Amino acid sequence: MENSFNIHGCDYIKVPGHQTFMKNEELHYPVEFLKISDQIKDSAEGKVVLVAAGYLGKHYCNVAKEAGGVAIDIGSIFDGWCGVGRTDAIQNKGHRLGNV
């Protein structure tokens, strides 16, 4: 993300992808959920936080807000940028980012 948008000082908190699309072994909830919430609490103050985390994205936005950050749930647009996810979100290949 840092390279795609030429942003300096970007923090990245990995959220496991949805198992349906990513064929991922990591379980987002309940395994990684609390750890991710804590990471957001520790780093969100004074920052803009872009969230792409499915149903739990709303929770993470609230965590960032309570920690003094500004959170934006970018939802399925992130799927479009990456080319992985819901069919309706990834159909337009023109939305894809080269470095993600």
pLDDT at 66 over 90: yes
Q: Tell me the chain's radius of gyration from C-alpha atoms.
A: 14
Instruction: Report whether 49 contacts 64 (CB < 8 A).
Output: yes
Cis check for the bond before 30: say yes or no (omega within 30 of 0): yes
Q: What is the pTM of this model?
A: 0.72
pLDDT tens digits, one per residue of 9-43 = 778 888 876 655 556 666 777 778 999 999 999 99
Q: Tokens for 92?
A: 């337009």
- Give 16's DSSP letter: P
Place of tokens 């064929």: 23
pLDDT of residue 1: 53
Which residue, 62, 90, 63, is CA-closest to 76? 90
